[in-house]
Amino acid sequence: MAKKATIVWTKVDEAPALATYSLLPIVRAFTKDAGVKIELRDISLGGRVLAAWGKAPDDLAYLGELVWKPEANIMKLPNISASIPQLVDAIKELQAKGYDIPDFPEDPKTEEEKKVREVYAKCLGSVVNPVLRQGNSDRRIAKPVKDYARKVAEKRNWMKPVPENSKSYVAHMKGGDFYENEKSVTLKKDTKIRYEFVDKNGNVTVMKEIELGEGDVVDATYMNREKLREFYSEVLEDAKYNDILFSLHVKATMMKISDPVMFGDAIRVYFKELFEEFGKELEEIGFNPNNGLVDLEKKLSKLPEEKQEAIKKKIEEIYAKQPRLYMVDSDKGITNLHRPNDVIIDASIPAVIKNGIQGWGPSGEVDDCVITVPDRSYATMYREIVDDIKLNGQFDPRTIGSVANVGLMAMKAEEYGSHDKTFFPPADGIMRVVDEDGNVLLDHEVNAGDIYRSCVTKKIAIEDWVKLAVNRARESGEPIVFWLDAYRAHDRELIRKVNEELKKYDLTDIEWHIMAPPEAMKYTLKRFRQGLNTIAVTGNVLRDYLTDLFPIIEVGTSARSLSIVPLINGGGVFETGAGGSAPKHVQQFVKEGHLRWDSLGEYLAFVESLKLAYKQAGNEKIKILAETLSEAVGKYLENDRTPKRKVGELDTRGSHFYLALYWAEALANQTEDKELAEKFAPIAKALKENEEKILEEIRATEGSPKDIGGYYLPDDEKAEAAMRPSKTFNDIIDSI
Amino acid sequence: MAKKATIVWTKVDEAPALATYSLLPIVRAFTKDAGVKIELRDISLGGRVLAAWGKAPDDLAYLGELVWKPEANIMKLPNISASIPQLVDAIKELQAKGYDIPDFPEDPKTEEEKKVREVYAKCLGSVVNPVLRQGNSDRRIAKPVKDYARKVAEKRNWMKPVPENSKSYVAHMKGGDFYENEKSVTLKKDTKIRYEFVDKNGNVTVMKEIELGEGDVVDATYMNREKLREFYSEVLEDAKYNDILFSLHVKATMMKISDPVMFGDAIRVYFKELFEEFGKELEEIGFNPNNGLVDLEKKLSKLPEEKQEAIKKKIEEIYAKQPRLYMVDSDKGITNLHRPNDVIIDASIPAVIKNGIQGWGPSGEVDDCVITVPDRSYATMYREIVDDIKLNGQFDPRTIGSVANVGLMAMKAEEYGSHDKTFFPPADGIMRVVDEDGNVLLDHEVNAGDIYRSCVTKKIAIEDWVKLAVNRARESGEPIVFWLDAYRAHDRELIRKVNEELKKYDLTDIEWHIMAPPEAMKYTLKRFRQGLNTIAVTGNVLRDYLTDLFPIIEVGTSARSLSIVPLINGGGVFETGAGGSAPKHVQQFVKEGHLRWDSLGEYLAFVESLKLAYKQAGNEKIKILAETLSEAVGKYLENDRTPKRKVGELDTRGSHFYLALYWAEALANQTEDKELAEKFAPIAKALKENEEKILEEIRATEGSPKDIGGYYLPDDEKAEAAMRPSKTFNDIIDSI
């Protein structure tokens, strides 16, 4: 007798939450007799606030335990990472609904207020991902999405050709960067390590202590900022000489301690003369280049008007002397150096590549640009792909292969877990990592102000990552390439570990390689151009970068990628919706009854969730449900049943209808399971026959405001009524 | 009335000198009525010694003036770069022949002896090239050689396939190398610069002064030896981990000051434990790692036997711990670290590539290897080509294109003129270049013992180089690529200059690019694999490296390249015979009357010399002589008329007969010049009819000793008699 599988569907916020009212009944109806139970668990902002005060079950806590169990199977829809204003709004709504919860203390003073603040801290920011992502990352383009993209590209190719003799190129440092200075060690036993700064007189300051385990990998490195600034000078000089745009690509949003400083140094170098001439004034008003030029704009008014004018004049002079800046938004005059968070390397470089390796200049002109990526840890692979395009021409989405990714993400792996271990040495001296026995594990001679960064990678995370890579190779039949560089200290440790781990597996019929990023990119691109698929097995940063780069080239956006977190203990989290939770869509729905959230991400993720459920429950029907859903998604894309923007056009609800129709048809037409075919044949028929009627019933409700009974905690009945307006459709679904 | 052109044919030493006795009469006979005069000028060792003492005209001095005149047209055959023993032998021979010249004072003491020594100094070492090479370098494969190679490769491909999953790769430094540290300046006016070392206390030592002119480019850089040694450690560790061979590639022969030290550091790191344990003893006996392990072998016997054994045992232990060494000659146990001059990068890396990116290990085994090239100035292009081969497979000589070179060589350009400006700072401090006004042009903070190197590139040399590149592009219709890296200081100066110079030319129909070496290599290799030709326009070092690399891939050897020095003032020097002057061939000839010198180099060079003569004299007949000679060379190769190794087989003289036959036939068959055709038709006929007879007359003289009346100053009559033994052939030639 087959086991049951339970899939957790997360109750979230805003548009995807609304869509769930319509989609979940369909999904439940289709799967219920196959031994799949779908359980709704609330991770919405409203739900979390209530749970924090004991007014609702703490579903996130439940999920936090579930992810460590093999039966975990979680559909993770996009939820709100709350800012303080959002949280305050949510609290007000809940209070209005009669919940007895305290106000948010913006500036807590009493003990009581501080406690309240502490409770609410658990609802602020990105609190769900750290709980759920207890595994590495498996990202790829699902087959129907890839097929669809190939077809769409026939009509409208998003990859712009590269001009002949393009002057664009990737610039990176020659030395003194994180890449060169990295040292790394694999711990031989459990220990507590401490980070110390030793000044020229031998005084030791402990910066931080952490407990680590045997087999964990610790790295440390630093960016020599004098060399960084010399590098910027050289790049600016060359950009000016070639009369191309200067563009800088960092990731201040994610690498929030180190990258703003690297960004700030670009401003310090570009505007060198400004700091020379007005250094005192700029310091007075507290201008911090790490916050971008916008910080200067904000604070300039603190100076006497005369000074302001002098500074503005100087800036204009500098613009005339220096190379033109790459614009983030040339219409609005937003330069590359405006805000550190405006240029996000993983999105911004693919944007340049997509645009024929060009950017927009200050006058809105399209031009070649130097793509500046200081640290060679990441820059060399971008250099390879840019060179490849210049040499072999722009990629053709109709013919290229696919590059999936297996990323070492678990347990805050590597650089992306380094925020709390990034330091700025207060003086020239030594930064070192010392274990509890007093052994110096890593040490660096640094200069005051250099960026010192240490990363930790947990042994269990690495082991799981290798396993995931082998599994993916086996399932896909595609070669896996570990992007590891024996001349980068951290990677060298990983190469040893990977080779050890690989011995545990039967590698027959698996093609695997370990290559440094430039060679890995070469190898991958050769196959890519031949239409062949390759799996990139990378660290956390390259995961982030490559899972934007290749999807954007392949299908025009990374939002349509599958994003799976195969959990360390065997379960899975299926993430959907890289595009956020779309508050604007909710506004439109409430205002005029038209919702344009595309549930494609949910469909694709659910295919994978069902595949896992099949493994968990062993019921063949689940496998067929997964296969037929995938088929349905293909048809959905082929016939372009995605929701449209305007009232009266197809919306989310109508598009769910089509998904149900195609899924039912696929089930009816398959021959593997007669029972399922017979069951869904009449459903498919009924849906098809009532197509016009159902769409009309939905359309009839459009154009007028909708009451869903709340924003952060909608009224389930009202919301469901609004989202399931077609009685005909509901009856068919409920009859299954 | 057509002008006359004069071609200077150099009288040289050993085998090419012997071959000249047979070849020159043919060449003179064929060209005499076309307005080409061939003049013999003596640059042989014997001739130079006599000239030094006023016993013969100083032909080299004459040529030294001629090369600055537009009418210069010089066939430069390989001559002896005399070592002291060779010079002593030559002096003895000349004295025996009655010349009143003094003995060579090996250890001059008196003023008189010192003067004699000074005179003889002009006859020692490489004294001809510096006089004649008053221009940049134009190297390429002549068409008949390329065609022949393509055909030969059908039967015997010299490019060995690369094993699947080759572990070989090129390793280079991440920082601290010459590449990173280079600074460069273009002089704004004529000035005298001085090199200074400033110690920590501010004491200044002037190391050298030189006069330079406006527009000359001066660079300085240094190799951080601590980083160099760290790099070697990493490479050794990785080679050991991968269980592949460690191989080091430098050019101690040419970069004779800097590279032996880099070589020595590899020994210091590989044998670190030896120095730790026996440092005192090794110092006592004066072992200098810069001279290779052979130096240790030589000096070890100075130690007590017990110590010797202990050291030998330690060395065996180290060999067991460290990666296996790449062997220069595994039969004889000669390792890569044996002698600094044994591994010459420009030959040794192509040898590895040719061999499937593999080398020989200590037990004679063929294995993958790490190709270690510390400095990125040159390493990155090797990394590219090795990666390319690993990715796309071994090159196929039947289908690949050709890569010619235009090299910046004139006036001791760049690194190759840096010997006298290479210093080892005596302490930590500053090395700087100061002009006569006291301005610091370049400065470097260095550590004691670092390798500091400064290069000078003359403005006029750069200008001529750009002109040559444009001319070659125009003549060949092939794209030219300047291999220059905007992020290398010297190259950045050159890029500016190149762009300025290019404005002087009509570039219509010329495809030109400036690319950093890795990108230049990518671009070139893409075309290479497509069968397309590309001209690499490079600095002096890359000239040296690439003119071995590509010819070896294309035709199996670089000895068959054309090597032309288009002189700055319009003339040309046509160099032949990269293989030296072959003393062994002379021994064989004297002993058994068989000479196996292949004059192919002379034929090919003479085609180009005739083309220049055509330009100089404007006589159409010369053009036809050149074209028909080229055709004859093709047939010569096609029918394999190169001299064979053994008595009784075809030798140099017989092969000259075939050249004459094919040349005469080509002249008889051409239709452009009726007069020439009519003149050579009977010659061709006579040669063809007497083929067997002539070869028999030559063969008849083989197998017995030959008297040529001397070694360094052969007797012209005797030598000519020995080299022109066929009366039938001589009569036909002399009848022309």
pLDDT, tens digit (0-9, with 9 covering 90-100), for B298-315 = 999 999 999 999 999 999
The 10s digit of each residue's pLDDT in B122-139 is 898 778 988 999 999 999
Written as one string, the DSSP assignment of B123-138 is TSBS-SHHHH--B-EE
Is the pLDDT reported for residue B2 higher than 80? no
Residues of chain B with Cβ-Cβ distance to A180 below 8 Å are 174-175
Mutate to test the interface with B, among A372, A487, A530 (most CBs of B within 10 A): A487
Report if residue B119 sits inside a domain: yes
pLDDT value, residue B479: 98
Q: How many CB atoms lie within 10 A of CB B489?
A: 22
Looking at residue B711, the DSSP 8-state letter turns out to be S
Share of chain A above pLDDT 70, in %: 99
The 10s digit of each residue's pLDDT in A485-527 is 999 999 999 999 999 999 999 999 999 999 999 999 999 999 9
Residues of chain A with Cβ-Cβ distance to B234 below 8 Å are 487
Q: B122 and B30: one domain? A: yes
CATH number at residue B203: 2.60.40
A226 contact B CB<8A: no
Over residues B515-538, mean pLDDT: 98
B507 contact A CB<8A: no
Q: How many CB atoms lie within 10 A of CB A272?
A: 16
**B526/A392 CB distance under 8 A:** yes
- Using CA of residue B298, residue B301, residue B302, residue B307, what is the dihedral sign? positive
pLDDT value, residue B22: 97
Report if residue B128 sits inside a domain: yes
A392 contact B CB<8A: yes
* Helix axis angle, B727-735 to B691-699, nearest 10°: 130
**B176/A175 CB distance under 8 A:** yes
Q: B93 and B191: one domain? A: no
Whole-number Å distance between alpha carbons of B550 and B140: 9
Residue B140 is assigned to a ligand binding site: no
Report if residue A236 sits inside a domain: yes
Whole-number Å distance between alpha carbons of B214 and B504: 19
Is the pLDDT reported for residue A158 higher than 80? yes
Q: B342 and B429: one domain? A: no
Q: A246 and A316: one domain? A: yes
Q: A109 and A32: one domain? A: yes
Whole-number Å distance between alpha carbons of B56 and A633: 95
Residues of chain A with Cβ-Cβ distance to B377 below 8 Å are none
Residue A346 is assigned to a ligand binding site: yes
**CA of A250 vs chain B CAs: smallest distance (Å):** 21
A229 contact B CB<8A: no
**CA of A517 vs chain B CAs: smallest distance (Å):** 12
Whole-number Å distance between alpha carbons of B596 and B585: 6
Is the pLDDT reported for residue B578 higher than 70? no
Instruction: Kindly give, in sequence order, each residue whose CB lies less than 8 Å from that of residue A29, ignoring residues fewer than 6 positions away.
Output: A733, A734, A736
A230 contact B CB<8A: no
**A175/B180 CB distance under 8 A:** yes
Residues of chain B with Cβ-Cβ distance to A166 below 8 Å are none
A391 contact B CB<8A: yes
Over residues B42-56, mean pLDDT: 96
Is the pLDDT reported for residue B59 higher than 90? yes
- B301's torsion region: left (phi>0), alpha (psi -120 to 50) or beta? alpha
Using CB atoms, pick whichever of A176, A234, A391 lies closest to residue B175: A176
C-alpha closest to that of A398 among A727, A589, A159: A159
Residues of chain A with Cβ-Cβ distance to B497 below 8 Å are none
Backbone angles phi, psi at B420, to 5 degrees: -80, 0
Residue B548 is assigned to a ligand binding site: yes
Tokens of B475: 């003549």
The 10s digit of each residue's pLDDT in B353-392 is 999 999 999 999 999 999 999 999 999 999 999 999 999 9
Dump strand ranges (E) for A534-629: 534-538, 562-566, 572-575
Whole-number Å distance between alpha carbons of B558 and B581: 16
Tokens of A583: 């508050």
Domain-ending residue, one of B454, B475, B509: B454
C-alpha closest to that of A613 among A162, A31, A158: A31
B387 contact A CB<8A: yes
pLDDT value, residue A560: 87
Over residues B546-573, mean pLDDT: 94
**CA of A229 vs chain B CAs: smallest distance (Å):** 14
Whole-number Å distance between alpha carbons of A263 and A255: 11
Q: Angle CA(B566)–CA(B571)–CA(B605) in degrees, nearest 5?
A: 60
Over residues B610-628, mean pLDDT: 95
Residues of chain B with Cβ-Cβ distance to A486 below 8 Å are 238, 241
Whole-number Å distance between alpha carbons of A684 and A689: 8
Nearest CA in chain A to B239: A486
Q: What is the ipTM of this complex?
A: 0.92
What's the whole-number average pLDDT of chain A?
Answer: 95
pLDDT value, residue B579: 64
**CA of B515 vs chain A CAs: smallest distance (Å):** 10
Using CB atoms, pick whichever of B241, B391, B522 lies closest to residue A526: B391
Report if residue B658 sits inside a domain: yes
Is the pLDDT reported for residue A271 higher than 60? yes
Q: How many CB atoms lie within 10 A of CB A721?
A: 16
Q: A231 and A247: one domain? A: yes
Q: B718 and B582: one domain? A: yes
Using CB atoms, pick whichever of B171, B175, B523 lies closest to residue A391: B523
pLDDT value, residue A381: 98
Residues of chain B with Cβ-Cβ distance to A241 below 8 Å are 486, 496
Mutate to test the interface with A, among B487, B490, B497, B502 (most CBs of A within 10 A): B487
AA identity, residue B698 = I
**CA of A208 vs chain B CAs: smallest distance (Å):** 29
**B487/A165 CB distance under 8 A:** no
Using CB atoms, pick whichever of B238, B487, B519 lies closest to residue A486: B238
pLDDT value, residue A333: 86
pLDDT value, residue A558: 87
Residue A388 is assigned to a ligand binding site: no
Range(s) of the domain holding residue A714 = 5-134+573-734
Taking the CA atoms of residue B227, residue B228, residue B234 and residue B237 in that order, the dihedral angle to the nearest 10 degrees is: -140
> Which A positions 584-643 lie with beta carbon below 8 A of chain B?
none
Report if residue A602 sits inside a domain: yes
Over residues B424-430, mean pLDDT: 97
Residues of chain B with Cβ-Cβ distance to A523 below 8 Å are 391
The 10s digit of each residue's pLDDT in B637-648 is 999 999 999 999
Contact between B410 and B136 (Cβ < 8 Å): yes
Residue matched to tokens 């444009």: B470
Q: B714 and B608: one domain? A: yes
Whole-number Å distance between alpha carbons of B600 and B652: 10
Q: Is B505 exposed, middle or buried (0-12, 13-18, 19+ CB in 10 A)?
A: middle
Whole-number Å distance between alpha carbons of A644 and A699: 13
Report if residue B653 sits inside a domain: yes
Q: A187 and A87: one domain? A: no
Using CB atoms, pick whichever of B176, B387, B486 lies closest to residue A519: B387
Q: How confident is the model at residue A1 (pLDDT cuts 50, 70, 90)?
A: very low
Domain-ending residue, one of B318, B350, B373: B373
pLDDT value, residue B1: 41
B420 contact A CB<8A: no
Residue A199 is assigned to a ligand binding site: no
Report if residue B392 sits inside a domain: no
Which contiguous run of DSSP H or E holds residue B359? Answer: strand B358-360
> Which B positions 154-173 lie with beta carbon below 8 A of chain A?
165, 169, 171
Q: B265 and B240: one domain? A: yes
Whole-number Å distance between alpha carbons of B639 and B645: 17
**CA of A157 vs chain B CAs: smallest distance (Å):** 26
pLDDT value, residue A2: 52
Q: Number of structural domains, chain B?
A: 3
Whole-number Å distance between alpha carbons of A573 and A131: 11
Written as one string, the DSSP assignment of A489-518 is HHHHHHHHHHHHHHTTS--TT--EEEE-HH
Over residues A86-103, mean pLDDT: 96
CB pairs under 8 A between A and B: 51
Contact between A184 and A490 (Cβ < 8 Å): yes
Residue A600 is assigned to a ligand binding site: no
Q: Is B396 exposed, middle or buried (0-12, 13-18, 19+ CB in 10 A)?
A: middle
Report if residue A694 sits inside a domain: yes
Q: B314 and B203: one domain? A: no
Using CB atoms, pick whichever of A180, A392, A492 lies closest to residue B174: A180
**CA of B526 vs chain A CAs: smallest distance (Å):** 8
Name the pairing type of β-strands A245-248 and A217-223.
unpaired
Residue matched to tokens 């390798």: B451
Is the pLDDT reported for residue B91 higher than 60? yes
Is the pLDDT reported for residue A331 higher than 90? no
A530 contact B CB<8A: no
Over residues A577-598, mean pLDDT: 88
Contact between A355 and A366 (Cβ < 8 Å): yes
B500 contact A CB<8A: no
What's the whole-number average pLDDT of chain B?
Answer: 95
Contact between B17 and B586 (Cβ < 8 Å): no
Q: B216 and B271: one domain? A: no
Domain-ending residue, one of A386, A412, A429: A386
AA identity, residue B625 = L
Over residues B265-286, mean pLDDT: 97
**B526/A391 CB distance under 8 A:** yes
Task: Name the least confident of A372-381, A408-417, B218-227.
Answer: A408-417
C-alpha closest to that of B701 among B630, B629, B642, B653: B653
